[in-house]
Amino acid sequence: MRVAVIGAGVVGVSTAYFLARNGHQVSVIEQHGNVCEEASLGHAGLLGAAHLMPLAAPGMPAQILSHWFKSDSPVKLQPGFNVQRWRWLRSWMHECSVERMLVNKEKMQRLGKLGQQLLNDITQLHSLDFQQRDGLLQLFRNDKELNRVTPALAMLTQADIPFRQLDQAECHLLEPALNKHTPFIGGLYFPQDSQGNCALFTKQVKAIAQQADVDFAFFTRCERIDSTPHGVTLQLKQDELVKHQQFDAVVLSAGENSIPFFKSVGIHCRVVPVRTYSNTANIKNMEDSPRLSIIDDHAQVAITRMDKRIRVAGTLLAGSARHAEDERAWTFLRKIGTDWFPDAANYHTGSNWSGTHLMLPDNTPLIGQVGNKPVFVNCAQAEYGWSMSLGSAKIVADLISGKAPDISLDGLTLVA
C-alpha cells in the first residue's frame, strides 16, 4: 500500500518506520524543513512506563484552582471564552476520580511498556546512540504529594514494573548531586525508566527509514484530505505549487496541526492544545550534575541530563493560544533547576523553548482508524509523546497492515 504520514515529529517518523517494516511504500509530509521542528524538539525526553501519570488525578482541580492567580503555578488551565475548551475542562474534571485515574494510568502504562520494549529492540538492532541515560527519581516535597500517587503503586507491581520507595537520605545516596538544602520527604526510584535526546533519536530513525525507501517531503503542507473509492487524495502545497496526490491510506500525526482535518475526516473528540516549556543550559560542573533523571512532583517538572547539557522541562498551559508564550514559565523552570542542582549550570544563559501538544481529557493518545475510511490518526500524546509514541506507532502500522497488535487495544482505539 501507498501510505502518507502527515507530520514528522517523533510520532510521525516512528509510524513511518513501522509502516516501512511492514512493507508499505511510505511518504512523510512535513511543512517544516526537517524532522522534530515542533513539539518533539525540546521536551524533557523521558522514556518508560513507570512515571506515566495522567494529569487528571484526585486533588488536581483543587491544586490548579489554588494556583490560578500565582505566577509560579506549574499547571494552568486557560479555557477563556472558548466553548469547546470549557467542555474539555468538564470532561477532564470527570477523569479526576481515583477510579478513572487508575484506568487511564493503566492504559498509558500499557502503551509505555510496549514502547519501551520497542525502543530497546530498535536501539539494539540499529546500534543507536541518542544520549540515553537509565534511571528516574521522582521526588516529593510533602506527604500529600506522595499520598496522591500511592493508589497507583500497586499497578506497577501488577505490571511487573520495578520501583523502590526511598526516604530522603536514600535519595541523596542514590543521587549525590541533589541540593542538600532543598527540603523534601523522599522519592520513588524507577530503574527501568530512562531519558534521551528525542530530536537526535528521531533524526536517526529518519535516516533508517530513508534507507528503507521512505520518502520525506519537506516544506510541504497538506491542505485537504478527501476520501475516494480507492483511498484518499491529499491536496499538497509546496511554495506556490499545489498538487493532488493519491494514496491508499493516510495517517494524521501532526500534533496540533492535525486539528483542522478532524471535522472533515469525521473525528469528533474533546482535545485542547497544551503548551509546555523547557530551559536547556550547558553544564559547568559535572560533579554537581544529575546522574539520574529527576521529576519534581510538586512542580510537575523534569530535570534531565543530555551529554554536556541539562534540561529543565515542564509547566503546562492548557488551552493557551497558539504561539502565546509566557516568560514566567521559564523563570519558574530556572528556579526549579536551581532548587535541585544549583551549581550544575547557569540556567539564566540557557536556551528557552516552548512547544504545543494536544491533550485529551484522560491523557491517553488519539489512535486508530476513523470509521471505515482509509484515514488513521496517531496524535495527542501530550507531554508524554516519546514514551508512548513507539507503541502507538506500531499499533497504527499494524492496523493498516491487517496485523494483530502486540497488546490489547481495550480503551485505546479511536471512537469516531
Once rounded to an integer, what is the mean pLDDT over residues 131-155? 90
Structural domain contains residue 120: no
Structural domain contains residue 151: yes
| CATH value at residue 151 | 3.30.9.10
Once rounded to an integer, what is the mean pLDDT over residues 118-129? 96
Structural domain contains residue 416: no
Once rounded to an integer, what is the mean pLDDT over residues 333-341? 95
**Alpha-carbon distance 36 to 25, whole Å?**
22
Q: How distant is the alpha carbon of residue 186 from its chain centre?
A: 26
382 grid coordinates: 501530550
pLDDT digits (tens, 9 = 90+) for 3-15: 999 999 999 999 9
pLDDT digits (tens, 9 = 90+) for 52-78: 888 888 877 776 666 555 555 566 666
Structural domain contains residue 70: yes
For the ranges 29-33, 113-117, 118-122, 263-267, the lowest mean pLDDT is seen at: 263-267
pLDDT digits (tens, 9 = 90+) for 235-292: 999 988 999 999 999 999 998 899 999 988 988 888 888 888 999 999 999 999 999 9
Quick one: pLDDT at residue 416? 42
* For helices 385-401 and 98-126, angle between their N-to-C axes, nearest 10 degrees: 80
353 grid coordinates: 523553548
Once rounded to an integer, what is the mean pLDDT over residues 149-175? 91
pLDDT digits (tens, 9 = 90+) for 288-307: 999 999 999 988 899 999 99
Once rounded to an integer, what is the mean pLDDT over residues 319-341? 80
Residue ranges of alpha helices (H) inside 167-221 are: 168-174, 198-211
Assess whether pLDDT exceeds 80 at residue 325.
no
Structural domain contains residue 333: yes
Please state whether beta strands 351-359 and 272-282 pair in parallel, antiparallel, or not at all (unpaired): antiparallel
Assess whether pLDDT exceeds 60 at residue 79.
no
Quick one: pLDDT at residue 70? 57
pLDDT digits (tens, 9 = 90+) for 222-250: 999 999 888 999 999 998 899 999 999 99
Position 43 confidence tier, pLDDT thresholds 50, 70, 90: confident
Once rounded to an integer, what is the mean pLDDT over residues 191-208? 95
Structural domain contains residue 13: no
Position 319 confidence tier, pLDDT thresholds 50, 70, 90: low
Backbone φ, ψ for residue 166 (5° rounding) = -120, 150
Backbone φ, ψ for residue 189 (5° rounding) = -110, 125
Domain containing residue 75: 46-89+130-194+271-359
Query: What mean pLDDT, rounded, does the chain reach?
Result: 90
Structural domain contains residue 232: no
How many domains is the chain built from?
1
Going by the DSSP 8-state scheme, the letter that residue 266 receives in this structure is: T
Quick one: pLDDT at residue 42? 87
Residue 324, number of CB atoms within 10 A of its CB: 12
The answer to whether the predicted template modeling score (pTM) of the entire model surpasses 0.85 is yes
pLDDT digits (tens, 9 = 90+) for 363-409: 889 999 998 899 999 998 877 778 899 999 999 999 999 999 999 99
346 grid coordinates: 547557569
Position 215 confidence tier, pLDDT thresholds 50, 70, 90: very high
Structural domain contains residue 308: yes
Quick one: pLDDT at residue 152? 83
Query: Bridge-partner residues for 316, per DSSP?
Result: 75, 276
Once rounded to an integer, what is the mean pLDDT over residues 95-122? 92
